[in-house]
Amino acid sequence: MTTRAEQIERLLTEAFSPESMQLVDESHKHAGHAGAKGGAGHYDLTIVSAQFAGQNTIARHRLVYAALESMMPVEIHALSIKAFTPNEI
């Protein structure tokens, strides 16, 4: 059985072949929050991929949300995204 975080990482790896990725589950910080009642998680993502080249911040976020569309909003309630190209790190 894979965890929700492992599923997120798998989808992002398939979509972006990232050079690096850090996903932090911050769901515990949101206990009692309306979005947490249904069990959906809160995550903080930092991802580095060449596929973000030429894309502004909003376009990068849209690409990430599109890759995770199957998990939104039932399994992922909130996602903080920091998306970079390798040259930006």
List the pLDDT tens digit at each of the 89 positions of the chain.
679 999 999 999 999 999 999 999 988 675 666 555 556 788 999 999 999 999 999 999 999 999 999 999 788 988 999 999 999 98
Instruction: Classify domain 4-88 at the CATH class level.
Output: alpha beta
Please state the pTM of the whole predicted model. 0.86
Helix (H) or strand (E) run with residue 86 in it: none
Question: For 10, phi and psi rounded to 5 degrees?
Answer: -65, -45
- How many angstroms separate the CA atoms of 7 and 89, rounded? 25
Give the start-to-end residue ranges of the domains of the chain. Answer: 4-88
